[in-house]
Amino acid sequence: MTSTLTDTFGRHINYLRMSVTDRCDFRCVYCMSEEMTFLPRSSILTLKEIHNLAIAFVRAGVRKIRLTGGEPLIRPGIAALCESIKAIPGLEELCMTTNGSRLESLAEPLFSAGVDRLNVSLDSLDPSLFKSLTRTGNLTSVIKGIDTARAVGFKKIKLNCVMLKGRNDHEVNDIVAFAIDRQLDVSFIEEMPLGVITEHGREQTFCSSAYLRERISQRYTLLASSYTSSGPSRYWEVAHAPTTRIGFISPHSHNFCDTCNRIRLTAEGRLLLCLGHENSIDLKAILRSDPTNTDLVTHSIHDAMKLKPRQHHFSNDSVEIVRFMNSTGG
Ligand code: SAM
Ligand code: SF4
């Protein structure tokens, strides 16, 4: 039995992002500090618990699940988890956001498991800049991963690019050309002030979507598009390149809260109602109190809707949210 989830502002909530681990093999400069303390393994949800919670969310009204992290592909058993979640009756779409480092070997198992869409983060096409932005990443492996995913049959692949002024914004059109060449979509993301980082000052590197769109328009003709992926991106089509859409995720310059349909589950089982607020409920504790009673969890999810705030307020000169993006489920 499925129902619908509605918050106190009348928004229908049908999209869940589940973080399957807070750990990662990269240390992207906008996402993490160089030295990170990760959660003890005992406080992370087991694969069985993630699956049970997914069942409860779908019963409550979720239709689309995105697995994310941290880096979801470093969690052992990830392909089997995808297969079990994809089989939940009522779920319409299973997606994943990955840094692509392990995609070359895992693309095929993920495709066979029924994953519908992949978002792959790619902030630079310059190997040394890629390395410095991710601190540990290898560009060649990520590109091999993207090409393998296309070869095994993934039709819906989108690049995610966090653009930092003075660091990688000069590559915006090269990334668009890369996306067109491989028939991928691409979203450019404004950096959000999540977690305390010292590598750069976020107010100095802020790169607005309007600025990027202007730069892209100098090389390509962009046509406004009504397409929506049910995420926060606003899309444009590229004239003469119908297989590539360009999205902008603009948490600062274009507040997307009015149409928010999203909730997040952290790797330790906390249901977050908004990226920019700490309101949450501890679903792991509820599940562990009575592991076979998923109805109790479904009821708690409905009840949590009253905690979903109207909107976020991000400012680059202060960090209001101390949790990092990797522990949030980006
Ligand atoms: N590790 C995977 C990856 O990088 O794709 C999935 C998790 S990551 C937290 C999800 C997305 O959040 C990535 O596209 C990443 O670029 C983005 N992200 C991380 N920190 C961010 C921040 N402070 N502001 C905006 N986007 C951020
Ligand atoms: Fe890891 Fe993704 Fe964060 Fe980069 S953005 S450090 S790949 S979790």
pLDDT band at 314 (very low <50, low <70, confident <90, very high): low
- Assess whether the C-beta atom of 325 lies below 6 angstroms from ligand 2: yes
Instruction: Please write down the long-range contacts of 8-12, taking CB distance under 8 Å and 24 or more positions apart.
Output: 8/305, 8/306, 8/308, 9/308, 9/310, 11/258, 11/259, 11/260, 11/261, 11/308, 12/61, 12/261
- 36-45, 76-85, 140-149, range with the lowest pLDDT: 36-45
Mean per-residue pLDDT, 170-183: 98
Residue for token digits 């599940």?
287
The yes-or-no verdict on residue 319 having pLDDT over 50 is no
| Ligand 1 lining (C-beta closer than 6 Å) | 24, 30-31, 68-69, 71, 97-99, 121, 160, 162, 189, 191-192, 194, 325-326, 330
Looking from the CA of residue 162, the nearest atom of ligand 2 is 5
CA atoms within 13 A on the CB side of 243: 11
| Average model confidence (pLDDT) across the chain | 91
Contact predicate 323/12, CB 8 Å? no
Mean per-residue pLDDT, 120-141: 98
pLDDT band at 311 (very low <50, low <70, confident <90, very high): confident
Highest mean pLDDT among 194-208, 280-294, 307-321: 280-294
Provide the pLDDT for residue 300: 96
Provide the pLDDT for residue 190: 92
The yes-or-no verdict on residue 318 having pLDDT over 70 is no
Query: Does the pTM of the predicted model rise above 0.85?
Result: yes
Provide the pLDDT for residue 294: 82
Question: d(Cα 321, Cα 194) in Å, to the nearest integer?
Answer: 5
Q: In CATH, what number does 15-328 get?
A: 3.20.20.70
Which ligand sits closest to the CA of 192? 1
Mean per-residue pLDDT, 258-273: 92
Å from CA of 138 to ligand 2 middle: 13
Mean per-residue pLDDT, 120-139: 98
